[in-house]
C-alpha cells in the first residue's frame, strides 16, 4: 500500500464499486418488475487481505459491503441479491491486466496449479443461483479450486 499506484486503485474502485452501483441503479426498476436477481461477482479478496493487494482487496471489500446493504434495502421487494466470490480462476485477461501485459508474470500465477477454476465454472455458479426457485436466495457463494484451500494456501505441483 505504501508504494501503491493510486491511479490503478482509482480504476479498480471505479470498475468494481462505482460500476456495480451504476448498473444496480439503472437496472433496479426492471429487476423489480421482473422479480429478477442481482448477481455480483466479487472475489475471495473480500474475505482476506494479502500483501500487495490493498487496492483490489479494498475494492472487493466494498463490493461485499454494497451487496449486503443492497440485500437489506431490497428486503421487501421481489429481487434476490447474491454475491459470488471466486478464488483462483485461470483467466489470461485478468492476470495480464493485473501485471500490465507481462505474460510471464501472468502465467506464474497459475504455474503448477492443477485444475484452477475456469470462467465456465463461474458461469455455472451464476446459472445455479439464477435458476433457484424464486423464494430461495443464495446470499453469497465462495468458490475455489480444490487446489486453493485458502487465499494464501495453494497446492502447486512441479513440472
Return the half-sphere exposure (C-beta side, CA atoms, 13 A cut-off) of residue 12.
23
One of 13, 50, 56, 110 is an active-site residue; which one? 56
50 is catalytic: no
pTM score of the predicted model: 0.91
Domain spans of the chain?
6-151
| pLDDT tens profile 80-126 | 999 999 999 998 677 778 788 888 888 888 899 999 999 999 999 99
**CB of 78 within 8 A of CB of 32?**
yes
Residue 156 pLDDT more than 70? yes
* Residue 39: its H or E element: strand 37-41
**CB of 84 within 8 A of CB of 121?**
no
**CB of 150 within 8 A of CB of 108?**
no
| pLDDT tens profile 12-58 | 999 999 999 999 999 999 999 999 999 999 999 999 998 888 999 99
What pLDDT does residue 119 have? Answer: 94
**CB of 77 within 8 A of CB of 108?**
no
* 6-151 CATH choice from 3.40.50.720, 3.40.630.30, 1.10.287.130, 3.90.226.10: 3.40.50.720
What pLDDT does residue 92 have? Answer: 66
Q: Is 36 helix (H, G, I), strand (E, B) or coil?
A: coil
Amino acid at each position: 500500500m505504501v508504494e501503491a499506484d493510486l491511479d490503478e486503485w482509482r480504476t479498480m474502485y471505479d470498475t468494481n464499486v462505482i460500476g456495480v452501483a451504476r448498473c444496480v441503479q439503472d437496472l433496479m426498476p426492471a429487476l423489480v418488475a421482473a422479480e429478477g436477481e442481482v448477481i455480483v461477482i466479487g472475489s475471495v479478496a473480500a474475505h482476506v487481505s494479502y500483501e500487495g493487494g490493498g487496492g483490489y482487496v479494498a475494492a472487493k471489500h466494498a463490493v461485499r459491503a454494497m451487496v449486503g446493504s443492497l440485500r437489506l434495502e431490497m428486503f421487501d421487494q421481489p429481487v434476490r441479491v447474491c454475491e459470488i466470490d471466486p478464488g483462483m480462476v485461470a483467466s489470461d485477461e485478468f492476470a495480464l491486466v493485473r501485471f500490465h501485459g507481462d505474460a510471464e508474470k501472468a502465467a506464474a500465477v497459475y504455474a503448477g496449479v492443477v485444475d484452477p477454476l475456469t470462467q465456465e465454472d463461474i458461469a455455472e455458479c451464476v446459472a445455479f443461483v439464477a435458476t433457484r426457485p424464486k423464494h430461495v436466495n443464495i446470499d453469497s457463494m465462495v468458490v475455489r479450486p480444490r487446489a486453493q484451500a485458502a487465499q494464501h494456501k495453494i497446492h502447486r505441483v512441479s513440472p
